[in-house]
A and B are shown apart, each in its own frame.
Chain A
Amino acid sequence: MKRKLISTSSDWNFEILQTYEREIGRIAKKFKLDTYPNQIEIINSEQMMDAYASSGFPVNYHHWSFGKHFINIENNYRRGRMGLAYEIVINSNPCIAYLMEENTTTMQALVIAHACFGHNSFFKNNYLFRTWTDADSIIDYLVFAKNFISECEERYGADEVELLLDSCHALMNQGVDRYKRPYPISIEEEARRQREREEILQQQVNELWKTIPQKPGEIDENKPPRFPSEPQENLLYFIEKHAPLLEPWQREIIRIVRKIAQYMYPQRQTKIMNEGWACFWHFHILHELYREGLVSDGFMLEFFQHHTNVIYQPPFDSPQFNGLNPYTLGFGMMQDLKRICEQPTEEDRHWFPDIAGSPWLETLHFAMRDFKDESFILQFLSPRLIRELKLFAVMDNEKNKYLEVTAIHDDDGYQMIRETLAESYNISQEDPNIQAYNVNVRGDRSLTLRHEMHNGRPLEPESTEEVLKHVHRLWGFDVHLESVISTPNKTDIKLRRSCPDDGEQEDDLI
């Protein structure tokens, strides 16, 4: 093949980037990567820090916590304590990717392959993103949210809005639906519905609190029915719909925070897969470029330097250790999947009878589409990779004075390590399970939350107290939180917290 290098220097220009984008896109198509159109934006380091501070969104409402985040990043960056990401990519249609101007030509090519085709195709095809996010309307929604919130700030005062947002942010992790699907709408539609909701919502709230007497015999005086009749996992949704004292605009702001939390939720659940998929493709696409003679040896050496830095996993006893590196695990698993398809061993045939020897491209696409981190690990983590990473499981049981190694990378340990690791990526287990359990509708209107303790794990006391104050601010009446251990036969309340603390006045709130 005739060698015709796309670039020979580490300084890039827009023509070179366009060529890379075109060539990489051509190769990506060959591998059946299905993507949104790309919108690649070159930005400088300052703009990158801005993007960082607002969760990567190009527009977002104002809040002090973003300022804090920004100051923190700026500090660390200016003192050389951390480098900035080479790119940020947003799950939107078109798919917006920010590339740093400081990147060398090689880095830009790497990042285009990684973000604009790797992440992009993941956003478009993974089932969680397809179900839970709507790439077409997210930017519109953010614009709507920003305008609505700044309007509220003008009308009701920035401090008032800030307090409300503080409280909402505290509950963000409890503001997502895990089983219901939201539907996509446009910005005009969003604004129209907001006005409609404003009117209807207030009426519905009143429905709950109405005092018209019910027919005698309909309710059992000793054991009034619970409200809600089933516990509700989405606390922000529950508060938005049922908190008695909120103004319509406050309900709308709660809804905005809830929507954004919902939009981010799939990203939290697919960190390993998403990064693994993107790394896998930048690795293979750049190799393909090299095979076709479009890039030089120097280009590849620089690429390997970055690639190996990204996927390096320090061992647990190294000072650099900071948990399992999602890039390492993700890339390792994707590569391993390809290997299992192409060169299966006896062990692979035993563990993966369905995919050993199958066409690798289809299998990888299937794995990318229909799994999340938890199920992906549970399904595809192979004994070979467990050996390579020398994984081992440690149990910390508060009843013991010691920690215990419960599994290592041997025949007895593979299954256990696989399950344990998968479990640790199950967000609904890692986030405490807290649900709206009961409202004392006919009494003091207090709200009771229930924390189902998993493996006896308690809540961190200090921040729990703080969050309860926020719940109380939103709910407007007393709030209780019960930590319970349930068995099929009985429910055992281990700890009950209240806000305001029993005996204390409610103006205690900050």
Chain B
Amino acid sequence: MSFLIDRRQGSKQKSLVNRQRFMNRYRKQIRKAVAENLRARSITNTDTGEKISIPARDLREPFFHHGRGGRVTRVFPGNEKFVRGDQFPRPEAGSGNGAGPGSSDSGEGMDEFVFQISQQEFLDALFEDMELPNLTKRQLSGVEEFKRVKAGFAREGTPTNISIIRSMRSATARRIALGASKRRELRELEEKLMALPDREDTLRERRELEERIEQLREQLARIPFLDDFDIQYHRHSKEPVPHSKAVMFCLMDVSGSMDQATKDLAKRFFILLYLFLSRNYERTDVVFIRHHTSAKEVDEEEFFYSRETGGTVVSSALELMNKIIAARYPVNEWNIYGAQASDGDNWPEDAERCVTSINKLLPLTQYYAYIEITDQGDKPLWETYLAIQKNHPDIFAMQHIKGPEDIYPVFHELFRKQES
């Protein structure tokens, strides 16, 4: 008696839960590996997963076993030259396949446990513990998205929405209600009829009773099983779905003093930011502003990939941001965030206007982050902003980035989950 079963269409990924357990357990190591890998990898390459390697020692499952030492005799195949009594030096541990007994130590020679994680898992690990700070204002976004919710029952509707239970229940109730008095009368008459003796003198009375009973039965039978007004329909109504709306302003200096490497770092920072935003919030607008001596709102493509040169007037960008907020993002509806990247150069004459502009901006924004990409110490813009940072420690943050390896830690620092 044998069975042959085709299981190929059956459930795959039985190990998925176990894999998740594994990922959970080593979350710390995986995050560390992700952060390290971020340095080497081009940040625009976010479509693929990532190779993670964890020191094998961390995930060893210990058990009692023998170590080196004592007296062990083992048997090996393929002897071509030895005779009894031959002696030879002990091979080094881990030299693998030599005739040494040490080679049997359960594969502990492997140093790194390397495996692949998916893009989703990569981003999870990357952005864990981060959030957009001060996301307080909530606004029902007017018309764009609704959710269908059940809202009781209705007398009218389409046949697909009939509630069978409700309809039948109501039909049963109606039948009981309409027939109750007739059934009672019927019962009484039947008893009366039974009670009458079957004699000549009662014949007429019996005829009358029987007629009436027949009449009642007919009436009862005429009560419909299911009537139009029994039928009930599920009612659905639309409810607006609340969204947290946020807008992110990305400001970047593209003047002549920003060399390609610096721009590249800024780009990486913004892309990280962009990923983070589009992932965490359902509705997030991003506005790209690039500036040299004058500022311009551009699309993503142009922001990251076109070149321009010239001097630097930072306040132009801040003023443009102000204008855009006034025109398109009412402060009571939007959470407004600013992120600015620069090499720190600014025309000295512009410092004062900068302070004025940013002071106008800050009351409107939830958070404003400034990263200065330089390896030469504090530059003019840093000095300008330092004063502002002192006055607004909650919403204004500034950090230095020297090289690619700083981007992720700085990013993490800027958007660390706030303790509430």
Contacts and interface: CB of A to CB of B under 8 A. Distances in A.
A398 B70 contact: yes
Given A412-B84, A421-B75, A460-B67, A101 B8 contact: yes
A315 B77 contact: yes
A461 B102 CA distance: 15
Nearest to B10: A47
Contacts of B20: 67
B23 to A, nearest CB: 8
A75 B116 contact: yes
A50 B86 contact: no
Interface in B53-73: 59-73
A72 B61 CA distance: 14
Interface string A437-479: 0000000000000010111111111111011001000000000
Given A68-B59, A394-B74, A417-B75, A42 B5 contact: yes
B74 A424 contact: yes
A397 B84 contact: no
A473 B88 CA distance: 45
B3 A38 contact: yes
Interface stretch (A169-177, A184-192, A207-215, A335-343): A169-177
B62 A456 contact: no
A455 B72 contact: yes
A315 B71 contact: no
B337 to A, nearest CB: 36
B22 A68 contact: yes
B18 A405 contact: no
A44 B8 contact: yes
In the complex, which of the residues B8, B84, B86, B89 has the most CB atoms of chain A within 10 Å of its own CB atom? B84
A135 to B, nearest CB: 15
B85 A405 contact: yes
B18 A321 contact: no
Name A's interface SS. Answer: mixed
Interface stretch (B93-101, B122-130, B169-177, B310-318): B93-101
Contacts of B225: none
A460 B90 CA distance: 19
Interface in B356-400: none
B5 A315 contact: no
A285 interface: no
Nearest to B1: A37
Interface string B1-17: 11111111010111101
Contact of B21 (A162, A318, A401, A420): A162
Contacts, number: 267
A389 interface: yes
Contact of A324 (B10, B19, B59, B77): B77
B113 interface: yes
How many interface residues does chain A have, given as a range?
35 or more
A86 interface: no
Interface string A304-333: 000000000111111111111000000000
A179 interface: no
Given A402-B87, A404-B85, A71 B115 contact: yes
B114 interface: yes
A65 interface: yes
Contact of B19 (A71, A316, A409, A470): A71
B224 to A, nearest CB: 51
Contacts of A136: none
A407 B100 contact: no
B105 interface: yes
A460 B80 CA distance: 33
Given A405-B83, A461-B67, A420 B78 contact: no
Nearest to B60: A463
A54 B69 contact: no
Contacts of B6: 14, 41-42
Nearest to B96: A319
Interface string B157-191: 00000000000000000000000000000000000
Nearest to A116: B2
A313 B76 CA distance: 11
B170 to A, nearest CB: 41
A70 interface: yes
A457 B18 contact: no
Interface of B: 1-8, 10, 12-15, 17-25, 59-80, 82-90, 97-102, 104-105, 113-116
Given A42-B7, A317-B97, 9 more contacts: A70-B15, A166-B61, A170-B63, A391-B76, A396-B102, A398-B69, A402-B89, A404-B85, A434-B64
